[in-house]
Structure 1
Amino acid sequence: MSNAAEQIVVDFIESWNRMDYDSIYAAMADDIFYHNIPMEPCEGIEAVRAFFEGSGMGSDGAEWITHHIATNENVVLTERTDKFRINGQWIAIRVMGTFEIENGKIAKWRDYFDLAQFQGEMARVMGDANG
């Protein structure tokens, strides 16, 4: 590992893969800024919890695959494929993530992805009422 900031992000990704929400939330600062671009951002740990708990995804499995990781001091960039199991089927979304670490916690987290791809994957596993 390049440094402590990178290890925090690697551990965070592993927490997602175990769907260990206690560890996921423990890795975030109380005043975290999370932006799942192009969606609306969340500010504060309670807003992030509400976002994940209210997403309606109903995921019962996750596998985040890190293809590349780069670190510059307290900033960690990841190129990933984030997979989630929903209704017994897997969706997969390519993601670029930026994590800013302060005082040993994730203080800012921005993920960039193709919303149309995500919506298409969700429609596939949830059943598209218009299809």
Structure 2
Amino acid sequence: MDASSPAEIVRQFLRDMERLDYDSALKLVTDTCEYTNPPPLGVVRGPAGIRGVLEPFFAPTLENEFRILREASSGPMVFMERLDRHRLADKWVELPVTGVFEVHDGRIAVWRDYFDITTIMSQWPAA
């Protein structure tokens, strides 16, 4: 990894995820990265755990956009208020999210997303 700032590493991770480039994005997380979502989704660990949650969730998307509305960082901590937008076959779905990341040695070690699960699930296609 290069010596990019923690905020730039997170921005690159989100750009990769917009394109659903899991291979590139997951190179930016540690093997033990803890990814937390609101209940009932909960916590998964490592690249395989993250991919196991995101790949099936994003399967119906035709396009993704993660708009960063506000950003703050202090040392390894990065806070990003985002508007996550997902184009489905018949509509765009938007979800306000606040992400909290910890970056150590050039990779994301902790990723917590805070959002209203009902907002996204009420708009998402049934599995």
| Unaligned residue ranges in structure 2 (runs of 5+) | none
| Higher alpha-carbon deviation: 33-42 or 99-108 | 33-42
**For 1:8-27, what aligned pairs fall within 5 Å after superposition?**
8-27=9-28
In 2, Cα distance between equivalents of 1:23 and 1:56 = 16
In 2, Cα distance between equivalents of 1:41 and 1:60 = 26
Q: 1:66 aligns with which of 57, 65, 68?
A: 68
Cα deviation digits, residues 43-79 of structure 1 (max 9, x gap)? 1221111112233752221000000000010000000
**For 1:39-118, what aligned pairs fall within 5 Å after superposition?**
39-55=41-57, 57-118=59-120
Q: How far is the alpha carbon of 1:17 from its aligned partner?
A: 2.4
Q: Structure 2 counterpart of 1:78, which letter?
A: M
| Unaligned residue ranges in structure 1 (runs of 5+) | none
Q: Which has the larger radius of gyration?
A: 1
Does the C-alpha gap of structure 1 residues 56 and 26 become closer, same or farther in structure 2, counting only changes over 3 Å? Answer: closer
* Number of corresponding residues: 122
Q: Structure 2 counterpart of 1:26, which letter?
A: K
| Higher alpha-carbon deviation: 66-75 or 15-24 | 15-24
Alpha carbons 2:22, 2:51 under 8 Å: kept: no
Cα deviation digits, residues 100-125 of structure 1 (max 9, x gap)? 00111010000000011111221xxx
TM-score by length of 1: 0.84
TM-score by length of 2: 0.87
In 2, Cα distance between equivalents of 1:26 and 1:44 = 10
Identical aligned pairs, as a percentage?
30
Does the C-alpha gap of structure 1 residues 103 and 56 become closer, same or farther in structure 2, counting only changes over 3 Å? Answer: closer
Q: Give the secondary structure class of the aligned counterpart of 1:19.
A: coil
Counterpart of 2:7 in structure 1 is 6
Cα RMSD over matched residues?
1.7
